[in-house]
A and B are shown apart, each in its own frame.
Chain A
Amino acid sequence: MSHIGSYDERIKNFSWKISEDELGYKKGDPINIGWYCTDRICQLGKGDKLALIWEGAAGAEKWFTYNDIRIVTNTIGHFLRSLGIKNEDRVCLFMDKIPELYLGFLGVLKIGAIAQPLFSAFGDESLFIRLENAQTKAIITQRKHAPKVRKILDKMPYLEHIILVDHDPAKPLQPREIAFDLERAPKVEQLEIFPTYAESPSVLHYTSGTTGQPKGVKHVHYSLISQYLTTKWVLDLHDNDIYWCTADPGWVTGTSYGIIGAFSTGTTQCVLDSGFSADNWYRFIEKHKITVWYSAPTAIRSLMKAGNGVVKKYDLSSLRHLASVGEPLNPEAVIWSEKVFGRPFLDTYWQTETGCIVISNFPGMKIKPGSMGKTVPGIIATVVDTETCEPFRDSGKIGLIAVKPGWPSMMRTYWNNEETYQKKFRNGWYLPGDRSSIDSEGYFWFVGRDDDVINTGGHLVSPFEVESALLEHPAVAESAVVSKPDFVSMEVVKAFITLKPGYTAGKELDLEIMNFVRKKLSPLAMPQEIEFVDSLPKTRSGKIMRRILHAKEWGEEIGDTSTLEDD
């Protein structure tokens, strides 16, 4: 029996109090996600239950019970306090998927500080923009990523501590660096948990938009209420499940469902910290007898590409529930998974700003391959007219997805950017920026983004950020960045470039520019293709018309070109 049971009954009788009661939370009480994910589970008598099974690239393994993670997160919290980190200070977690990332996140929350996880593949420029915006006080990282921090250190007087979790004692520490060895640090059995409340800030995740710099999405501790319940009702985690969320906690899925959802439900979860290969992933599922698997369409399509032969080499019979997030899951992938795993991947829809799944396919629900599913109980979502922002009365019309504000994990603001935050609301609706339709049975069907943001492998990339980085390359005069279709990643970054006099287009320059962006921003932002052109399409006022280039890449109608520059 699934946790959600009858979807229709849940919709009829819904109240967020269901979640509050299960968690033993009463309005006005302190609520601290770090405590709920560790101490509370131990208080429920599950201290000896496995919480985290971690496997590294070279096959190294670390196992933690709930009592272990309670003590480890206490230890990290205590260490941060000893450095002078206080509540609401921003602490960046800049690590690969190692245990220190997962447990450091909870340790930060336990002392009331704000966790700021950042994708460890970010280059120094991406890192700087986000630390600068948050005025981050401390960063926890690994020695492999420390050079990127050192490179920008002089520009960040507010960054007081660089905490290295794997420092080599044979080498001297650089300015502001301090070593913290989780295994050698004196264990802290009892930690005074900072009494955060429902609206106390918890997590700051950065997300890209079409224009301007990345925005820091501020979440609060009360977000737990919807993250806990959607973990149970959508991911259907039961006490004996072994769960694998493949997302990196540098992104919101990795924290909402890779840390908070998993641990607050007292689930045993596995983490694989190594690069993708079909063999390795299937081996991991077989070895740990994974039962619930939450992954992404890019990974699923990569597995499809690897073929069905490799699936047959492994016993994957433990799998009982599969879900997907990050980008639309194409019908072929749903049908394929049903064929090879005996069950479909269920698509889920949400974003950094929503903090939890808001539209989804549920266990037991009729699955329509290609559909995002139905509104999550407790969420009011619809599709509205692009101009009037009024909900459509008829099914099948394409408009903007709109969600009624008020659910627990709704973002509270963009950090230092209230103005942009307010622009996300129209006519009483929060607009995630995606287009969709709803069919007569209430199923949502994703159409595309309503802006120029590129969704590559489930990660949003701002064309503005990539264009800005390109302009810093000495050879680039002008640039325009759009998405181009890709079988595995759905979209990848493509750049159109005009060169400054004295530079000649060619393979060497092409590669040099690719690597320039990769190191400055991230591998995700690196153009997978560069087209050198003599000029870019512009309006008469000189604005580059990205939509014309986008249409060309996607084989679409170019549309109105009346404002195009004459030349």
Chain B
Amino acid sequence: MEEMKEIIRAYVVKEYVEDDTEVGFDTPLISGGIVDSFSMVSLKRFLENRYGISIPDDKATPEAFDSVNKICALVQEYLH
């Protein structure tokens, strides 16, 4: 779980952060304006590719993607 958090955090920073904004595990990503709703599609695609899962569209909500911790919890649901 810790490794997953670090992987997702590193991906978010690499792909969506332009400046030196720090991203913690609980940093609001969607409501905080770091990842916009259109870009959520690419983040979802990354998670599906990386973890070999399929996240239903109705589960990929702004709330479920709003922090690294919440994303990890969502991924966990579909890992098994």
Find out whether the CB atom of A526 lies under 8 angstroms from the CB atom of B41: yes
**Total residue contacts A-B, CB cutoff 8 A:** 77
Chain A residues with Cβ under 8 A from B41's Cβ? 514, 526, 528
Q: Which chain A residues in 142-171 approach chain B with CB under 8 Å?
A: 143-148
Within 8 A of A (CB), among B21-65: 21, 28-33, 35-39, 41-42, 45-46, 48-49, 58, 61-63
Query: When the two chains form their complex, are residues A121 and B18 in contact, meaning their CB atoms are under 8 A apart?
Result: no
Which residues of B are in contact with A by a Cβ distance under 8 Å? 15, 18-19, 21, 28-33, 35-39, 41-42, 45-46, 48-49, 58, 61-63, 66
| Cβ proximity bits A504-533 to B, threshold 8 Å, 1 near / 0 not | 000110110011001000011010100000
Residues of A within 8 A of B42 (CB): 511, 514-515, 518, 526
What are 5 sample pairs from A and B whose C-beta atoms fall under 8 A apart?
A: A276-B62, A277-B62, A508-B49, A511-B45, A526-B39
Closest to B29 in A: A275
When the two chains form the complex, which single residue of A57, A147, A526 contacts B33, counting CB atoms closer than 8 Å? A57
What is the size category of the interface that chain A forms with chain B? 20 to 34
**Is the C-beta of A273 less than 8 angstroms from some C-beta in chain B?**
yes
B49's nearest neighbour on chain A, judged by CB, is: A507
User: Are A279 and B63 closer than 8 Å at their CB atoms?
Assistant: yes
Partner of A144 from B18, B31, B36, B48 at Cβ < 8 Å: B18
Supposing A274-B33, A280-B31 touch, asked if A524 and B38 sit within 8 A by C-beta, the answer is yes
Q: How far is the CA of A302 from the CA of B30 in the complex (A)?
A: 14
Residues of A with C-beta under 8 A to B49: 507-508, 511
Tell me the smallest distance from the CB of B3 to a CB of chain A, in Å: 20
- Once the chains are docked, how many angstroms separate the CA of A275 from the CA of B38? 11
1/0 contact string of A278-320 vs chain B (CB within 8 Å)? 0110000000000000000000001001100000000000000
Contact assessment for A277 and B19 in the assembled complex, using a CB-CB cutoff below 8 Å? no
Chain A nearest CB from B9 CB (Å) reads: 17
Closest to A120 in B: B33
Minimum C-beta distance from A146 to chain B (A): 7
CA distance A148 to B30 in the complex (A): 21
Question: Across the two chains, which residue of chain B brings its CB closest to A277?
Answer: B62
Give the residues in chain B near A146, CB-CB below 8 Å.
19
A528 to B66, CA, bound (A): 20
Given contacts A146-B19, A524-B38, A526-B38, contact A275 B33 (CB under 8 A): yes
Q: How far is the CA of A456 from the CA of B36 in the complex (A)?
A: 14
**Known contacts A146-B19, A523-B38, A511 near B46 by CB under 8 Å:** yes
**A148 to B19 alpha-carbon distance, docked (Å):** 9
Bound together, the chains give a CA A147 to CA B16 distance in angstroms of 12
CB distance from B41 to the nearest CB of A (A): 5
B45 near A145 with CB under 8 A, answer no
Q: Which residues of chain B are near A457, meaning CB under 8 Å? A: 38
Enumerate chain B residues within 8 angstroms of A528, measured Cβ to Cβ.
38, 41
Q: In the complex, which of the residues A273, A302, A515 has the most CB atoms of chain B within 10 Å of its own CB atom?
A: A515
Whole-angstrom distance from the CB of A135 to the nearest CB of chain B?
25
